[in-house]
Chain A
Amino acid sequence: MSDEIENKTGYQAQSSETMNEYSGAAVGDIDYVRPAELPEQDLYHGHTFLTKWVFCQDAKVIGVQYFLTAVFTGVVGLILSWLMRLQLGFPGLAGFMTAEHYYQFVTMHGMIMVVYFLTALFLGGFGNYLIPLMVGARDMVFPYVNMLSFWMFFVAVAVLMASFFVPGGPTGSGWTLYPPQAILEGTPGSGAGILLMLISLSLFVIGFTMGGLNYMITILQARTRGMTLMRMPLTVWGIFTATVLAMLAFPALLVSSIMMTLDKVLGTSFFMPTILKAGEVLEYGGGSPILFQHLFWFFGHPEVYIVALPAFGIVSDLISVHARKNIFGYRMMVWAIVGIGALSFFVWAHHMYVSGMNPWFGFFFATTTLIIAVPTAMKVYNWILTLWRGNIRINVVMLWCLGFIVTFVNGGITGIFLGNVSVDVPLSDTYFVVAHFHMVMGIAPLMVIMGAVYHWFPLVAGRMLNEGLGKWHFWITFLGAYSIYFPMHYLGFIGVPRRYFEMYDSPYMTSAIGMNEFISLAAFIVGAAQFILIYNIIKTLKTGKPAGKNPWKANSLEWHTSTVPPEHGNFGERLPVVHRWPYDYSVPGAKEDFMPQTTPPSEVLNTEVEKT
Chain B
Amino acid sequence: MSEQKIVDYEFKPGFKGMAHDTGSDQTMFKGVHWGKAMMWIFLLSDTFVFSCFLISYMKGRASTPIEWPNPSEVFALEAFGVPVPLLLIALMTFVLITSSGTMALAVKYGYEKNRKMCGWLVLATAVGGLIFVGMQAYEWSKLIHEGVRPWENPFGAPQFGSFFFMITGFHGTHVSIGVIFLFIYAYKVFAGHYENGGKRGWFTTMRGDYVEIEILGLYWHFVDLVWVFIFAFFYLW
A interface list, Cβ under 8 A from B = 1, 5, 9, 12-14, 19, 22, 33-44, 57, 141-144, 209, 212-213, 216-217, 220-231, 247-248, 250-252, 254-256, 258-259, 262, 266-270, 283, 285-288, 291, 295, 298, 578
Contacts and interface: CB of A to CB of B under 8 A. Distances in A.
Contact of B41 (A225, A247, A286): A247
Nearest to B45: A247
Contacts of A229: 22-24, 28
Contacts of B53: 255
Contacts of A251: 45-46, 48-49, 51-52
Contact of A226 (B25, B35, B56, B150): B25
Given A142-B38, A270-B159, A38 B6 contact: yes
A263 to B, nearest CB: 9
B5 interface: yes
Interface string B192-229: 00000000110111110000000000000000000000
Contacts of B5: 19, 22, 35-36
29 contacts: A12-B2, A19-B5, A34-B9, A34-B25, A35-B5, A36-B4, A36-B5, A38-B27, A42-B205, A144-B206, A221-B28, A221-B32, A222-B27, A227-B25, A227-B26, A229-B22, A231-B25, A247-B41, A248-B44, A248-B48, A252-B52, A255-B49, A255-B52, A255-B56, A266-B151, A285-B158, A286-B157, A287-B159, A298-B52
B64 interface: yes
Contacts of B59: 288, 291
A222 B56 contact: no
Contacts of A225: 25-26
A295 B60 CA distance: 13
A258 B165 CA distance: 12
A35 B52 CA distance: 44
A57 B204 CA distance: 9
B29 interface: yes
A288 B63 contact: yes
B166 A259 contact: yes
Contact of A267 (B3, B35, B37, B151): B151
A501 to B, nearest CB: 33
B60 to A, nearest CB: 6
Contacts of B22: 229
Interface of B: 1-9, 22-32, 34-35, 37-38, 41-42, 44-46, 48-49, 51-53, 56, 59-60, 63-66, 150-151, 157-159, 161-163, 166, 170, 200-201, 203-207
Contact of B64 (A213, A258, A266, A286): A286
B6 A209 contact: no
Nearest to A266: B150
A36 B46 CA distance: 33
Contact of B26 (A12, A224, A259): A224
Given A217-B34, A269-B158, A291-B60, A39 B52 contact: no
A44 B56 contact: no
A268 B44 contact: no
Contacts, number: 185
Given A259-B166, A266-B151, A5 B200 contact: yes
Contact of A44 (B1, B2, B3, B205): B205
A38 B26 contact: yes
Closest 4 CB pairs of A and B: A12-B2, A251-B48, A268-B162, A255-B52
Name the residue in A41, A225, A255, A291 with the highest tally of chain B Cβ atoms < 10 Å from its Cβ: A255
Contact of A12 (B1, B151, B159): B1
A33 B26 CA distance: 11
B6 A286 contact: no
B49 A39 contact: no
A73 B56 CA distance: 33
Name the residue in A254, A267, A268, A291 with the highest tally of chain B Cβ atoms < 10 Å from its Cβ: A268
Given A262-B150, A283-B151, A287-B60, A12 B37 contact: no
Nearest to B33: A221
Given A34-B7, A247-B44, A269-B151, A295 B2 contact: no
